[in-house]
Structure 1
Amino acid sequence: MRLLETPMSVAVTDLMRSRIQNNAMRFSSGTLDGLMINGGGYQGKTETACLTAADFEDDWRELFERYQSHYVDAMPGTRDLIAPIAYCQTPVKATPIGLCEAILDFYGAPYGKNLRGMIRNVRESIKAHATTVLMIDDITRLKMHREDDQDTLDLIRGLMDLDVTLVLIGVNIPRSGLLREGWHDPRTKQWVYAPLKKGKSYNPDASTQTERRFDLVNLDPFDYSSDVGIAAYVDHLVGIENQIRLFNAGPGTLSEGEMPEYLYRRTHGIVGLLRRLVEDGLVKAMESGLEDLTTDLLDEIPINLGNMPGKENQRDAEAGEIPHIDTAPRSKVGKKPKKGRNTVYDDRGTPEAVEA
């Protein structure tokens, strides 16, 4: 099922597109403003950010092809010479070396013999591939009580002087400790903070960077407490049911009757959980021959928030990537078993005589 836009994702897309486009067109000197995308687990932060970045990259490549087509095309068997968007994930146990390896893996570049060489290769790769946006996912895996994590954050800040827009994606960023020494400017609606003074930074530029600015934008789940929120949620369900190809499912399968409230109770309005529940329901509906989605069928489907198979899909529960919500189906209250009849005074007949 394709990812559908929501009012929350549109707000994130508009701000992100405006930020990276303005920074890409900026020719004056100075550190570029960054962006933090905050939200709970399974709310589509990564998908929304990647789709927005991919849309910008298409326009950016088209602009380059008009004037520098020889720079855009890659040689057969090699990586693209130009990579406007770079994406990587923060390692679960973050270290400056681990982050450098994650970035260099994207470019297919050599690691280097030591940390200094790795940092140099990262900076050279970003410049050589004309990267304008560096997206770092799961940023809240950084734990600020660990020295390695502080050094990793200093390394990230040090990359901002490369004319690259940093887009950091994470869960509950304001309470993660990343902005512990910062403050929110109500006038500009931006987070302003200085680098951590604790720990020893391997990045020589980090100590000279005294202030960084990020816009913090939230990607929230659907709100079911207002008429506007309910209407947006139902519209989203209509968009999902339009993709359903079951023989017995028609208009209103997900958006009418008790189904909207049922789906909201099971998923708490979280887009990722809603899509997973519906997709699993579609498979079960086809396998069972029902060819329809009903509450009874969906009750048989648990929503497992544990880690997915494969190391690349592991989620860090400590970083808030697995939401703490109750997604169990509604328990059906059965009839109480009848109390057994007392048989103490039953007449079981005259016992047989025993021969002497």
Structure 2
Amino acid sequence: MTRALSLDGPLEGLPSRARIAELILSSRPPIDTYVGWQHYRTHCGLLVPASTVSPKQWSMLSESRQYDYDLYRELTNANLPLQDTPMHDKVGKLIRRRLSGNTRKKDAPTRAGVMISAWGNYGKTAAVCSAGAVFEDQWLELHSNLNPGALPGARDLHAPVVYVSTPVTATPKSLCASILGFFRAPIRKSATLPELVRQVAGSLHDHGVKALILDDISRLRMHRADDQDVLDLMRALMSLDVTLIMTGVNIPGIGLLRESKWNKKTRQWEMPPLESTRIHGLEITQTEHRFELIELDRFRYITPKQIGAFIDHLEGIEQHLRLLNAKEGMLTGGTMPEYLMRRTGGVIGLLGRLLEDGAQEAMESGRELIDESLLDEIVLRRDEPGQPPDAPVLPADLSTADEKTPRAKRPRNTVFDDRGPASATGS
């Protein structure tokens, strides 16, 4: 006689159906608000994955508990953990170093900033937010969760880190409104720009802000006057004892730091000399001098160290996925690593999307296993540009740019030609 497993067995930690439904239906507040940022910081990585059971153990469960377990497995597979990667470690190290130095400065009038540039799905926002959350945890612990600069009797929120998304139609006023909106601060409709700037400066100081994350900075285009004014405002904020951390797609290409070139040997962005350098002897612009640019790369599969890092990442995902027929080496054995690298190009966001969809397809089809044949059925569009950062688009040869390609002459239209009277022999 078969009896269902009790919760004292492998499903001891399985939540109730009501709790699982609550986890699925619950929504987090926007991260560009104080409440949303605190929710992210305190809840990131807290989801407990479903227990691992064998097909035999699953078959011994009642239908009701099978449904609960499968529902929780879907939740687990859809929330892959944020793992440490060489690329994200590089970003985190730079942010920690910059924040550590800036928060200890006493006499410097401005604070150096950081720019994180990467293509889409490279995980730049996740890396920056994770580093910001770690800094805030350490800062709050250092000051016993109190704002060291708060006025006696004041009840201002203590927000060491502020996350703001650059407005789509950026103007100095809209950027000020976005920063004030993080604290849900009231804004007068008739407020002038100087009044908004003073209000922003007061809010950053009163709330003890040490790091200001400006995401999607690539929305700025330097050929627009409003966007240039926004960049000037950002530089002005650096004098308020705040470290600016900007993220965006192809930051060098949008002109924030002038048009730059990627050097394969040094793996750094190189700024070409300005025309003003020849005339005035100016070496670099203010923005270049105040910010350090770092390019967030994707996984590579060339050297043994790079291959090992990619396989370690796959192993972390493999241990997190919950499939009944999963086996050791499901993602790391055989030719699977090469297959996944070929399908995703090493882009961490595309890799996660492919494996999440693969896990869902494995459950729906009843195969309960991810292999190459199953992943072949999943259409994955690579949204990255054709030219990665280490293979920049080369400018056209100016010597041949003006040469026009010879075009073949079109034959003359002879429809209306007068061919004369028809010959007698042809009649």
Q: TM-score range by the shorter chain?
A: 0.7 to 0.9
1:217 to 2:294 alignment = yes
Which of 94, 97, 104 in structure 1 is aligned with 2:173?
97
Q: Secondary structure at the match of 2:214?
A: strand
Q: Residue 272 of structure 1 aligns with which residue?
A: 349
Q: Residue 126 of structure 1 aligns with which residue?
A: 204
Q: Secondary structure at the match of 2:238?
A: helix
Q: C-alpha distance in 2, partners of 1:85/1:44?
A: 19
TM-superposed deviation, 1:298:
1.3
1:51 to 2:112 alignment = no
Q: Residue 324 of structure 1 aligns with which residue?
A: 385
TM-superposed deviation, 1:182:
9.3
TM-superposed deviation, 1:325:
5.2
Q: Residue 353 of structure 1 aligns with which residue?
A: none
Which of 172, 188, 195 in structure 1 is aligned with 2:250?
172
TM-score, normalised relative to structure 2: 0.62
Q: C-alpha distance in 1, partners of 2:99/2:256?
A: 22
Q: Residue 91 of structure 2 aligns with which residue?
A: 12
Q: Which of the pair has more CA radius of gyration?
A: 2
C-alpha contact 1:191 1:213 (8 A) present in aligned 2: no
User: Aligned letter for 2:100?
Assistant: Q
Unaligned runs of 5+ in 1: 198-208, 306-321, 327-356
Alignment of 1:1-356 (within 5 A): 1-65=80-144, 81-112=157-188, 113=190, 114-180=192-258, 212-304=289-381, 322-324=383-385
Q: C-alpha distance in 2, partners of 1:216/1:118?
A: 29
C-alpha deviations, 1:318-339, integer Å up to 9, x for none?
A: xxxx52359xxxxxxxxxxxxx
Q: Secondary structure at the match of 1:162?
A: coil
TM-superposed deviation, 1:4:
0.8
Q: C-alpha distance in 2, partners of 1:164/1:218?
A: 22
- How many positions carry a matched residue from both structures? 289
* Change over 3 Å in CA distance of 1:104–1:192 after alignment to 2: farther
C-alpha contact 2:258 2:271 (8 A) present in aligned 1: no
Q: C-alpha distance in 2, partners of 1:66/1:273?
A: 38
Q: C-alpha distance in 1, partners of 2:330/2:261?
A: 47
C-alpha deviations, 1:107-143, integer Å up to 9, x for none?
A: 1112332333222221111111010000101111111
Q: C-alpha distance in 1, partners of 2:85/2:108?
A: 36
Q: C-alpha distance in 1, partners of 2:253/2:127?
A: 22
Q: Secondary structure at the match of 2:338?
A: helix
User: Aligned letter for 1:217?
Assistant: I
User: Aligned letter for 2:198?
Assistant: R
* Change over 3 Å in CA distance of 1:262–1:24 after alignment to 2: same
Q: Residue 342 of structure 1 aligns with which residue?
A: none
User: Aligned letter for 2:82?
Assistant: L
* Change over 3 Å in CA distance of 1:122–1:67 after alignment to 2: closer
User: Aligned letter for 1:153?
Assistant: L
Q: C-alpha distance in 1, partners of 2:287/2:330?
A: 55
Unaligned runs of 5+ in 2: 1-79, 263-267, 277-285, 388-427
Matched residues, percent identical? Answer: 47
C-alpha deviations, 1:28-82, integer Å up to 9, x for none?
A: 232111111111111111111111111110111112217768959x99xx9x611
Q: C-alpha distance in 1, partners of 2:350/2:212?
A: 27
TM-superposed deviation, 1:151:
0.9
Q: C-alpha distance in 2, partners of 1:325/1:255?
A: 27
C-alpha contact 2:150 2:208 (8 A) present in aligned 1: no
Q: C-alpha distance in 2, partners of 1:116/1:67?
A: 30
TM-superposed deviation, 1:102:
1.6
Give the CA RMSD over aligned residues: 3.1
Q: C-alpha distance in 1, partners of 2:258/2:217?
A: 14
C-alpha contact 2:165 2:216 (8 A) present in aligned 1: yes
C-alpha deviations, 1:241-287, integer Å up to 9, x for none?
A: 01111011111111111211111111110111111111111111111
Q: C-alpha distance in 2, partners of 1:154/1:99?
A: 12
Q: Which moved more, 1:126-135 or 1:171-180?
A: 171-180
C-alpha deviations, 1:155-192, integer Å up to 9, x for none?
A: 111111101001011122222200128999xxxx8999
TM-superposed deviation, 1:289:
1.0
C-alpha contact 2:116 2:295 (8 A) present in aligned 1: yes
C-alpha deviations, 1:14-41, integer Å up to 9, x for none?
A: 1111111211122123211111111111
* Change over 3 Å in CA distance of 1:60–1:159 after alignment to 2: same
TM-score, normalised relative to structure 1: 0.74
